[in-house]
Amino acid sequence: MALVMEGEERIAAPVQKVWEALNDPEILKQAIPGCQSLEMNSPTEMAATVVLKIGPIKATFNGEVKLKNLKPPHAYTIQGEGKGGIAGFAKGGADVTLSEDGTDATILRYTAKAEVGGKIAQLGSRLIESTSKKLAAQFFSTFGDKLS
């Protein structure tokens, strides 16, 4: 089951600062909902453990996060894939663009795609879609708060 989400967040920080934060595992760890650990394996690859509750299912996903199509300091693609044991799998990515809004603010726009399979996919598209949108919105607003 696949879904697409789009959104925009205004962040009260200059583009360069937002770009650095998007590449900082400590800030990403705090912004990713349910993230237990996030470790850099290389400048563009991280290992992650995330605990999520979707409806009645709570699962721990172990996976990797990769940064691609880097165009500093204005755009990149973040992709992740995690396996949650019997709960199934989740994978997805987001194309993120940053544009200046005056000298000290940034507009962050994203288009995210997510795909889930296994037991989670049986929960129904409405629940998965609303949970995914909530998680994406939570990530970007927490990320924005960390920088403001």
CA atoms of 115 and 91, how far apart (whole Å): 5
The pLDDT of residue 105 is: 96
Q: pLDDT tens-digit profile of 5-52?
A: 999 999 999 999 999 999 999 999 999 999 999 999 999 999 999 999
CB 9, CB 143: distance < 8 Å: yes
Torsion of CA 40, 35, 100, 112, to 10 degrees: 100
Distance CA 95, CA 79 (A): 9
Q: What count of other Cβ atoms lies within 10 Å of the Cβ of residue 76? A: 21
Q: What type of residue is 102?
A: G
Of 32, 9, 20, 23, residue with least CA distance to 99? 9
If you average pLDDT over residues 114-141, what whole number do you get?
Answer: 89
Full set of structural domains in the chain with CATH? 2-147 (3.30.530.20)
Strand order in the sheet with 2-11: 2-11, 106-117, 89-100, 75-83, 57-71, 45-54, 35-42
The arithmetic mean of pLDDT across residues 55-84, rounded, is 94
Q: What is the mean pLDDT of the chain?
A: 93
Per-residue pLDDT band for 103 (boundaries 50, 70, 90) equals confident
3-state class (DSSP) for residue 55: coil
Give the pairing type, strands 2-11 and 35-42: unpaired
Percent of the chain's residues with pLDDT above 70 = 100
